[in-house]
Structures are given as C-alpha cells and as structure tokens.
Structure 1
C-alpha cells in the first residue's frame, strides 16, 4: 500500500540498531515464576509489586461482581449511569489517598490525557521534570499550554522556570513520584515549597508510588507528609494495585469538572464490574496488609545492596525499581537475551525510552520474590555480567 513501504525500512533499521523486539509470550498467569516456551522463568520485570494479581480475595471479588453485574458496564458512565461498584471504588480510593474525591479512568495513560487535556489551556504554563513518563508528556502535548522542562530533580532549574511564569493564568508543576526507569523519588517537599512560593499547582503522578511509598502504599504525598499541599494526585490501578485502570484524586470540584469535560472519561466505556470490584478489594487489602510492602522493601534494599557490592551500576535507584545500566542498545539487548537463557526475564530498555548510552535491564522486586529467587537472579547476573565485562 502506498505510503506504508517505510514501515519495513524502519523496522529493519531497528534490527540493525539492536533495538528490535516483540513482546514476550507467557503461558501462565503473572507471578514470580512463569511459563515461557515450556520452561519456568523467573519474572523480574513485572509491576506486580505486592503480588496482588493472583490474590484470592481479588479473584473472588471479580467472580462475584461478574455474576452480579455481568461482564461489561454497557456504556460510558455519563450516558448509561454509574454502577454502585464504581462509585464505591472511588469513595474508598479517595479515603485511601486522603482527598475529598477520586475519579477512575480506563488506564493511567488516559488519566493523564484527561487531566492535562482538560485543565490546561493557552493561558496556562506547565512545568515538567525532564524524565517524566511518556503519558505525562503526551497528555501535555494535547494542550495548548506553554511547556517548560526543568532538569531532573533540579530545584534551581524548577525555580528558574517558575520565575519566568508569573504572567500566566496558572502554573502547573508536574512530576512523577517515583521515576520508572531509574527508581528514584521526586523531592516533593522542595517542589511543594517552591509551588507555594510562586503560587503554582502541584500535580504528581504516583504510577510507581501507589502501593509502594507511604503508609500501606498510600503514595508519595503520604510518604512525605504533604497531605493538603499536593493539589492533584494521579495514579494507576495496573501496577501495585494489581488490576488495571487509572485514577485522579483531589478536590470534589476537580472530580465534577473532569466528569463534565475530560474526553477520555466522556467517550470511553467504564471499567468492567469485575475490574472495579477487584480494584476495590485491592485497596482494602492494602489498608490491612502492611506486611506486603514491608517484605517488598526489605527484599529490594537487600538485593540492591548486594548488586552494588558485586560491582553492578544500579544508577539512582532508591525503590524496588533497580536498573542495571549496560550502555548502548545492542549490548543491552544481548545482555537481556543471555539473562533469559539463564532463566531470568529482565528485558532490555533502550533508546528512545532512555538515553542512547543508558540502556539497561530493569529489575522490579516484588513481595512475591523469595530470598532464593533473588539469589538465583543474582547468580545469573554475575555469570552474564562477567561475560560482558561488567563485573
């Protein structure tokens, strides 16, 4: 077909650059050990931080909701109405996050599209950390707002951007709570102080912080004790919560405004009853099971310290996200392929997701990983790391 010939050419370029890959095909449900190609493989790349994807309470909630409500929601919520299970999820999610209200979207990506696309106009300026997630970047691109980028976690750079933004109707500071590729945490106390000094709105994306940071996984705002000082909290229900979806938590006026204006909410059918019910049960599990997070953190801290002692470059990691920095794309992908041969799945992450010389395999430590699992991964890393001259 005319105009599509370039696709094969660009795919060939990806292969030549060592960046070509297709999604792995799994033959079992999500867990610490999974089936691939008829053999057991240690899964070290899943966002299932707390092991909730196969929690019996979540599975039972999904089954009961399907039996009661059916498999679909029927339409968008503003047309066919909201099922009580969706309303209950939002009420308990807001209470969990310490806000007046919450609104659930189909994914974290669409949440960012809905929030930024609705709240930001040509009269506004949005100031974004340079390493923010692609969903934040794309959400901002949908708006006509002026965009300013500040250097990663650099408060002098942020303040410089704020100084030059006094003439705008509103100033939005947007940051990830936990940065997905490096596993470091945003300096929220300093960000909030600058926002208050320059009359700016603070929006935090807690995709990798929900269920991970804060008491019982309440997120970055709770982690730093900043309740009431962070205006908008965005997150996902697809990672530590263990299911799928996204949410925004904030004031009641924010929720009502988004219900009327946010296009992803207005023009997409809502979550299935089974998804809403299992998300609701996950929030209840989080509130009553702090030991899951404690186990995850203890394992992550021990694993990171051991890898650093072995000589691996774990970058700026300070959370259960632990990258092993390799370098160029082809070398990184080859390293990941060798790990898989050794029975460890930690795919290569390369440009454009990260800088061209910062390719890495990214490990995510979960509450489901045992000490034996992590030692298995470490031994595989040591074997392959020696072959590649990393240790």
Structure 2
C-alpha cells in the first residue's frame, strides 16, 4: 500500500497546479454585510443570507429562549426522542407557509435531498435531472439507483424526450433546482409541471434559493410562478433549505400527507440522524414571522439587483441576467477568476471565485450574492472595484 501522506500530498499538489484548491477562511460577522475574514474586515458578497436574517434580534432571542427551555441538543433521532414541541410546531408552520398539507424538517439541505430522493425512487424507476442541478440533488439521484437521465439545462424539449423514453419505468421523478445556485436563473416550473401531468411523472422542486426571496410574502418559487401548491400535492414534492434566506439552518420537504409519512419512515438521513437542536426550530419559527412581516427586505433586494445590473453592464465580462439574489460574473478560466477575486480582496471586498467541479470547465466565475443587509452604496463600491480590476485583468 502506498503511504497515505505521499498519496494525498500529491493529490493536493495536483489541485494547486489546476488552481482548484479551496481555502477556508475564519469568518465572524461584524455589522450588516460586513464580516471579519482571517482577522481583516471585508464587505462580503459571499453568503446566502439573502434577507439579512442571520443576525436578526428576533431570531437570536428565539434561539436563546429555546436553549433555556430545551437545552442545546436534541439527544437522538426524531423517531427516538429527538422530536420536540418546537420541531412539531415548526413543521406545521412550514406547511402552512408554503400551502401544502404537511412538512418534514431535516437537519440540513444536503441531508434532505440525499435522504428523500432515494426514498422516492429506486431500481426500476426513472429519474430525470437538469444538467446544472446542485450536487446534493445529483448525489441523491445516484444513491437512489434509479435509471438516471440528465437533460441540458432548462431544455424543455429534451425533458419531454426523456419523459417519452422513460415510459416503461415503474415511477418517474423529475428533479430540478427552482433557482440555480451558480447562475441565479429560474427553472420554468409551470411548463415542467405541465409535462409531468402529461406524462404521469412526479416533480421534485428544490427551492433552496427561492424560499423567502421569491413569491408573495417570500413563499418561494411556486408562488412566484403563480402555482397553487395546495392543488397539486399528488404531483409535487417541494423542498427548501432554511440556512439561506431564513437565516438559520436545516431544510424541509413538503407535500401530500402520505408522502411525508413515507419519508418519515424511509428517508435514512432523517431516520438515522440525530435531530437538530430545538433551539434551531424556535429560531426558524421566528424567521417565518419576520419573512412574512418584513416585506421591505425583498423590496431592497430588487433595488440592489437593478443597481448591480447597471454597474456590471459596463464591465468586460458577461453577467447573465438574473431574477434572483445570485448574480454570476463569467470570467472563463480559473486563473482569471482567482485574480479578480484577489483584486477585490485587496480593496476590502469578498466575492468568491467559483471553479470546477462546482461549475463546468471553462465557466469559472465570481458568484455575487446580494443581501438585504447590503446598501446601494455597497453595490456601487463593488462595481467600482470591479471596474478597477477589469483594467488590469484581461476579459474572457
């Protein structure tokens, strides 16, 4: 057997050669969208705290009350003794919020997708997935062992062909991100639901980046598209994460009562995992109230997005239009992405460079993430810094 140190030192060196090595920063919040990263203050366009709720006093107070009442750990899986009154109330409130009969809370979004999807389909079934779906959807698909078909991004004609080709399968599940995490564009959910109705398939919607941001009262992508979730529980499986716009942690799957009962019994990442602390559930209950009550946060995101779009229009790099809080700036190769990120960092601004395998080869980018905690002046500062960086860094 080769020496473990030799193997992985060489593997890490290969990442360095391809400019693919990632580095963690030690990050602490300061004020609003400002953080301390590795001891230095930075204006951050890096996280997914789209509504600026992670430091909201109401959420912090709810977590503190929850800790005082329940302690800081759930102690066991939800089916043993880790399901508290706080968890039960949260699931009921989540279901009501998105207009579906029942919801199941998971400790993490990755766990929700890698647990729910294999519980829905298996060998002998067909799973059809968008090419730009998030890694947790891809891993959930692989774990299911269903026959997997990947169709080109948002290509409805290709999706229809895949549905036709899979007619012999016992079950057919179409899996899609409602808002794509690295491009910020939206899946055409009305057309996808119509195809699933036509071909008797189920649609699994991951609304990680739409929940709280899009739709009436922040109810997510289904509401954004004018879809009545309550009218389609036999066709739809809805999932959303709660560590982004909701500002806390975890995720949930919502749908028909029988579906949620089955996931409770068979989703391994729910069944075998220790539950999230009840204090987290209490913070999330407060978050739902704030999301609904403080609509100005979504209005600010619209203003910030318009300001950013205008500022990026004069830069030498493509910035595809986005309807979400995510704005990619396409730089092409890994070296350029890292160079522009470093140029911004030198100016006190943190925007992460995203490289393969997170995005396809040749599409390295900056992923600009907006938050209601940003101001218009923050966006202007970012655009000015990008313009300065563009003078010294060649375009794609």
TM tier, shorter chain? Answer: over 0.9
Query: 1: distance between equivalents of 2:217 and 2:306?
Result: 18
Q: For residue 295 of structure 1, report the CA deviation from its aligned partner.
A: 0.9
Residue 390 (structure 1) aligned with residue 372 (structure 2): no
Query: 2: distance between equivalents of 1:296 and 1:121?
Result: 40
Residue 365 (structure 1) aligned with residue 383 (structure 2): no
Q: Show the counterpart of 2:126.
A: 125
Q: For residue 81 of structure 1, report the CA deviation from its aligned partner.
A: 5.2
Residue 67 (structure 1) aligned with residue 68 (structure 2): yes
Q: Show the counterpart of 1:232.
A: 237
Query: 1: distance between equivalents of 2:107 and 2:319?
Result: 33
Q: TM-score of the superposition, structure 2-length normalised?
A: 0.95
> Out of 304, 307, 325, which is 1:302 matched to?
307
Q: Deviations over 1:31-85 (max 9, x none)?
A: 4011234432100011000000000000000000100111111111111152110
* Matched ranges for 1:29-40 at <5 A: 31-40=32-41
Tell me whether 284-293 or 24-33 shows the greater mean CA deviation.
24-33
Residue 378 (structure 1) aligned with residue 383 (structure 2): yes
Tell me whether 165-174 or 98-107 shows the greater mean CA deviation.
165-174
Q: For residue 302 of structure 1, report the CA deviation from its aligned partner.
A: 2.0
Q: Show the counterpart of 1:221.
A: 222
> Out of 237, 242, 250, which is 2:247 matched to?
242
Q: Per the alignment, in what secondary structure is the counterpart of residue 80 of structure 2?
A: helix
Q: Show the counterpart of 1:144.
A: 145
**Structure 1 stretches lacking a partner, 5+ long:** none
Q: For residue 20 of structure 1, report the CA deviation from its aligned partner.
A: 1.6
Tell me whether 321-330 or 131-140 shows the greater mean CA deviation.
321-330
Instruction: Name the CA shift for 1:29/1:78 in 2 (closer, same or farther; >3 Å).
Output: farther
Q: Show the counterpart of 1:352.
A: 357
Q: TM-score of the superposition, structure 1-length normalised?
A: 0.97
Q: For residue 300 of structure 1, report the CA deviation from its aligned partner.
A: 1.3
> Out of 329, 337, 340, which is 1:335 matched to?
340
Q: Per the alignment, in what secondary structure is the counterpart of residue 158 of structure 1?
A: helix
* Matched ranges for 1:316-335 at <5 A: 316-335=321-340
Query: 1: distance between equivalents of 2:236 and 2:29?
Result: 40
> Out of 253, 260, 269, which is 2:258 matched to?
253
Maintained 8 Å contact 1:104/1:247: yes
Tell me whether 14-23 or 50-59 shows the greater mean CA deviation.
14-23
Q: Per the alignment, in what secondary structure is the counterpart of residue 185 of structure 1?
A: coil
Query: 1: distance between equivalents of 2:313 and 2:255?
Result: 39
Query: 1: distance between equivalents of 2:359 and 2:245?
Result: 23
**Structure 2 stretches lacking a partner, 5+ long:** none
Tell me whether 279-288 or 23-32 shows the greater mean CA deviation.
23-32
Query: 2: distance between equivalents of 1:272 and 1:31?
Result: 26
Q: Show the counterpart of 2:91.
A: 90
Query: 2: distance between equivalents of 1:271 and 1:351?
Result: 31
Query: 1: distance between equivalents of 2:39 and 2:267?
Result: 45
How many residue pairs match? The answer is: 391
